[in-house]
Amino acid sequence: MELHQLRYLVAVADSGSFTAAAASLHVSQSGVSAQVAKLEHEVGHRLLERGGRTVRLTDAGTQILPHARAALDAVSTIGSVSDELSGVVRGNLRLGTVIGCTIPGYLAGFADFRRAHPGVHVSVIEDNSDRLIADLESGRLDVALVAHAERLPRAVSAQTLVREPLAAVVPADHPWASKTSVTCAELAATTVLSLPVGTGVRSALSSTCAVERVDVVPAVAAHSPESILSLVELGSGVGLLTPSMASGHRTLAAVPVARSTRSMLSLTIGPAPSAAARAMAAALAAHLLPTR
């Protein structure tokens, strides 16, 4: 049994196919298939069900996969500890961000990290915050920028960057533009445009409406706040975002949602972070954390 065989097994399990695993590992598909077959021979069990375009874990594979991950993580940790003892930061880093991240300071912090630690290979994963948080907790990500309304898991360390209530975004000449606030009941009676399930805004909306015992289901869910703001300008409905997302749009008004749960943006780091993860978190924090 060799480490690269475990690495190939994990890659196939994560990607769902030998083709995708080979592409992510930059090796041939036949090489991945051959090495996984050798691993199956070594352990004496079939680990993957091969059929059609997708691959599924067998019962044996399901039981062995966590141990394969743990073995690879242990080897990675040994390398990280050795590098730290030598004062060197290198290796692989998995950074997660909300989809279409344009947060001021994020790119500046990322650039600072790359200049300071060119030996670290960084993979950037964009996804909904719910999945980013789950991947951070499980160790599939090292550092992440996530939006949320609920308390984060205990295993995840976080620094909150922004904490905002929800706002109904309407054209400046809309009847709501002069209101001091709008309720969930009013939102439920109109066409709402918002971010998808799994984002901080939608989590805050669900929490706020649960307290009010009102169900608000957005008619349109888009990943980009800019897309929602453009649709609002075109008269397609009321945007449900945060005030900062609508800032700079002079033709629009952001009206607070009454008794709103706060949507938070946090810089998070997973359990047992490597030196590279700590360095990335520090570089991002230097640009993202509000100055006192």
Q: Tell the residue number behind the tokens 């907790």, with chain if given.
A: 137
CATH number (domain holding residue 117): 3.40.190.10
Rounded to 5 degrees, what are φ and ψ at 96? -105, 145
Q: Are residues 176 and 154 in the same domain?
A: no
**Confidence tier at 100 by pLDDT (50, 70, 90):** confident
Residue pair 200/147 in contact by the 8 Å Cβ criterion: yes
Q: How many domains does the structure of the chain reveal?
A: 3
Confidence of residue 172 (pLDDT cuts 50, 70, 90): very high
The answer to whether residues 17 and 1 belong to one domain is: yes
Does residue 82 sit in the same domain as residue 222? no
pLDDT digits (tens, 9 = 90+) for 195-222: 999 899 999 999 999 998 999 999 999 9
For the chain, give the mean pLDDT.
Answer: 90
Structure tokens, 196: 């998808």
**Up-side HSE of residue 141: CA atoms within 13 Å toward CB?**
28
> Across residues 155-171, what is the average pLDDT?
93
Domain boundary among 65, 88, 111: 88
Q: Which domain holds residue 194?
A: 167-260
- At 180, the pLDDT band (50, 70, 90 cuts) reads very high
What DSSP string describes 56-74? EE-HHHHHHHHHHHHHHHH
CATH number, position 36: 1.10.10.10
Same domain, 281 and 149: yes
Is the predicted pLDDT of residue 90 greater than 70, yes or no? no
75 and 220 in one domain? Answer: no
Look at residue 257 in the predicted model and tell me its pLDDT.
Answer: 96
184 and 211, same structural domain? yes
pLDDT digits (tens, 9 = 90+) for 42-89: 999 999 998 767 788 999 999 999 999 989 888 877 776 776 665 556
Q: Assess whether 98 and 217 both reside in one domain.
A: no
Whether residues 100 and 232 share a domain: the answer is no
Same domain, 227 and 279: no
Q: What is the pLDDT of residue 195?
A: 93
In angstroms, the CA 80 to CA 119 distance is 12
The last residue of a domain, from among 59, 88, 117: 88
For residues 199 and 55, membership in a common domain is answered with no
**Do 205 and 80 fall into the same domain?**
no
* Cα 265 from Cα 103, distance rounded (Å): 10
pLDDT of residue 173: 94
> What's the half-sphere exposure (Cβ side, CA atoms, 13 Å) at 261?
21
pLDDT of residue 26 exceeding 90, the answer is: no
What pLDDT is recorded for position 12?
A: 92
251 and 176 share a domain?
A: yes
Q: Report pLDDT digits (tens) over 222-270.
A: 988 999 999 999 999 999 999 989 988 889 999 999 999 999 999 999 9
- Domain boundary (66, 88, 110) is at 88
- pLDDT exceeds 60 at position 292: no
- Checking 16-23 for CB contacts under 8 A at 24+ apart, the result is 16/54, 16/55, 17/53, 17/54, 17/55, 18/55
Using pLDDT thresholds of 50, 70 and 90, give the confidence band for residue 289: confident
9 three-state secondary structure? helix
Determine the average pLDDT of the residues in 185-190: 96
From 248, 252, 111, select the one nearest 239 (Cα to Cα).
252
